[in-house]
Structure 1
Amino acid sequence: MTSDEIDNVDKGILYLLQQDARGNTVTEIGEKVGVSSSTVANRINRLEEHGVILGYHPIVKYRETGLGHHLLVTATIPLTDREELLDDIMEVSGVVSIRELLTNSENLSLELVGHTQEDLEESIEDLDKLGVHIEQMEIMKQERSNPYNHFGKEFADEEPDG
């Protein structure tokens, strides 16, 4: 799917899904972008099939679940065999996300969680065994996200808060 194939309705749908995928029904999205709920459902299916929408993921406050240790890791992996290595990294206990970066070094950002410091240390050791070179580790306090505002806030016909 090319960017030319994504019209204003798609942009409005993407914006609203990023804003609250769980809370916005296809009927509500349809009302906001000016199409029927069946059109919204068809558009969402098309966007999923073409790999534009990869999934729907909650933002979890890990501390509230008893996973009080939340770590961001910057690492370097060899460029060769990286696809296979990324799959192996996702299997390491405690790894909840991976971001591959386009750079020679520090080309990986990992998010890890654990009940204890020992859990994280075990995860780091497992990553090391895979050939992941840890560059930096930081404790994460919180995460916030926001929908990309150029995806179609203006096409979602939302009423301003207030």
Structure 2
Amino acid sequence: MTYRIDEIDRTILYHLAADARNTSAPMMAEEVDVTPATIRNRIRQLEENGIIRGYHAHIDYEATSGKVTTQFTCTVPVSERSAIAADARATHGVVNVRELLAGQDNLLVTAVGEDTDDIDRVAHDLSELGATIKREDIVRTESFHPYDPFGPNPDSPPSAVRDFQSIVGGAEVVEFTVSENAGIAGTTLEAANRDGLIPDDVLVVSVERGDDLITPSGATRIEVGDVVSIFSPESFPEELVASFDAQTPSTE
């Protein structure tokens, strides 16, 4: 089953792509109004599902005694592309390999060498593997930026809704985060139903709290930072959002 990412996951991916070393779970938790334990749990899920595949240092090899970084644009037989890519990764000096869905120029290989003779040796090794080198380019600089759609949108007001999924037949599954001062915070599901915070025709499917995924019952007490998934047989009632969104505390 494909892992479905929500707003919490997108925020994590954005910040880790921007600066994984200096971004902490509490920093991300504050942005999406959940607990740091929930962030750590989501990171583990993203890793286990192969969405986060590793953490890598961005190294300026030229600054380490003037090494040369070169990108080779290669053509390989489509049927052998993955095998040649695997062999290329194992070649001494190769630091990055990209397979492209193209008939021509379908393999990009980045290598670091001590000098031009070392780069020539890498080129020879790639040719021996069956790669036809079309271009060799010296990499001057390289920079990265996180994927903007995963980042914060200053034009959108904060919302308790974290994910929304339509199901065949008109049913919907909505994921909420319990905001501070939300009406449902500190309330059991039984009391929330009695007080009209949760309508009779919807079902609380799960409550994610830090590392724990709670199977809810009437006695389950909802806490600030919980991620609550709710099933509605029809379009979910708009008033349900108010139960999870932050409410202005009374000054009386």
Gapped runs of 5+ residues in structure 1? 156-162
Report how many aligned residue pairs link the two structures: 155
Partners of 1:88 and 1:68 in 2: CA distance: 23
Larger Rg: 2
Identical-residue share of aligned pairs (%): 37
Report how far residue 103 of structure 1 moved.
Answer: 0.6
Q: In 2, are the aligned partners of 1:71 and 1:113 still within 8 Å (CA)? A: yes
Look up the match of 1:150: 149
Look up the match of 1:135: 134
Partners of 2:107 and 2:83 in 1: CA distance: 14
Q: In 2, are the aligned partners of 1:15 and 1:147 still within 8 Å (CA)? A: yes
Report how far residue 153 of structure 1 moved.
Answer: 2.5
**Higher normalized contact order (CA 8 Å, seq sep 6+, divided by chain length):** 1
Report how far residue 30 of structure 1 moved.
Answer: 1.1
Gapped runs of 5+ residues in structure 2? 155-252
Look up the match of 2:64: 65
The TM-score normalised by the length of structure 2 is: 0.59
Matched, 1:23 2:18: no
Q: Show the 5 A alignment for 1:13-162.
A: 13-154=12-153
CA deviation digits over 1:63-91, x for unaligned, max 9? 11125211111101111232222111101
The TM-score normalised by the length of structure 1 is: 0.90
SS at match of 1:28: helix
Q: In 1, are the aligned partners of 2:81 and 2:99 still within 8 Å (CA)? A: no
Moved segments of 4+, more than 6 Å? none
SS at match of 2:85: helix
Partners of 1:135 and 1:81 in 2: CA distance: 17
The alignment's C-alpha RMSD in Å is: 1.7
Look up the match of 2:224: none
SS at match of 1:9: helix
